[in-house]
Amino acid sequence: MKLASTRLIVADIKKVVGFYEMVTGRAAEWLAPVFAEIVTPAATLAIGSAETVALFREGSAEPCANRSLVLEFQVDDVDAEFARLRDKVEVVHEPKLMPWGNRAGQIRDPEGTLVSLYTPVTDMAKQRFAGR
C-alpha cells in the first residue's frame, strides 16, 4: 500500500489552489472545474470543491473545518521560504528547531489548514529523510 495523495475539501477552490501554487511553486493540474491536483515528487495534494462531497456521501466532509491535519512540505531552506512567503500568508509560528531535528515553521492556508514548512537540520533528521 502506498499513500498517494491527501485531499482537501474547500469552499473556494480557486483561492486555495492559488495559495498552494504560490507556496509550492508548482502549477496545479485541473482535472475538472471542481478538482485540481498539485503533484510533488513525494505525493500529491488533491483539492476538491465542496460540491465534490456529494459524489461520495453528502455531509461526509466539510470545508473550513479542519483542526487536526498539518500538511508538511520539506524544503531546502525553511528560512528562505519564510522570507519569500511571510508577507503573503498567515504565519502561525516562525521557523524554530523542533525536538525531532527539523527546523520548521507553520502557516495557514486561506481556509484554516495548518501548513508546515521544514528542513531537516540535525544529523538524525537528515538520515531519516535520506533516500526518500
* pLDDT per residue as tens digits for the range 94-131: 999 999 999 999 999 999 999 999 999 999 999 998 86
The pLDDT value given to residue 28 = 98
Domain ranges of the chain: 1-65, 66-132
Whether residue 76 contacts residue 59, with contact meaning beta carbons closer than 8 Å, is answered with: no
Q: Which of 36, 109, 104 is nearest to 67 (CA)?
A: 109
Q: Which CATH architecture has domain 1-65?
A: 2-Layer Sandwich (3.30)
* Blockwise average pLDDT, block size 10, the chain, 132 residues: 93 98 98 97 95 90 93 97 97 97 98 97 94 70
Q: Which of 4, 15, 1 is nearest to 113 (CA)?
A: 15
Q: Which CATH superfamily groups domain 66-132?
A: 2,3-Dihydroxybiphenyl 1,2-Dioxygenase, domain 1 (3.10.180.10)
**Predicted model pTM:** 0.94
Whether residue 72 contacts residue 114, with contact meaning beta carbons closer than 8 Å, is answered with: no
The pLDDT value given to residue 58 = 86
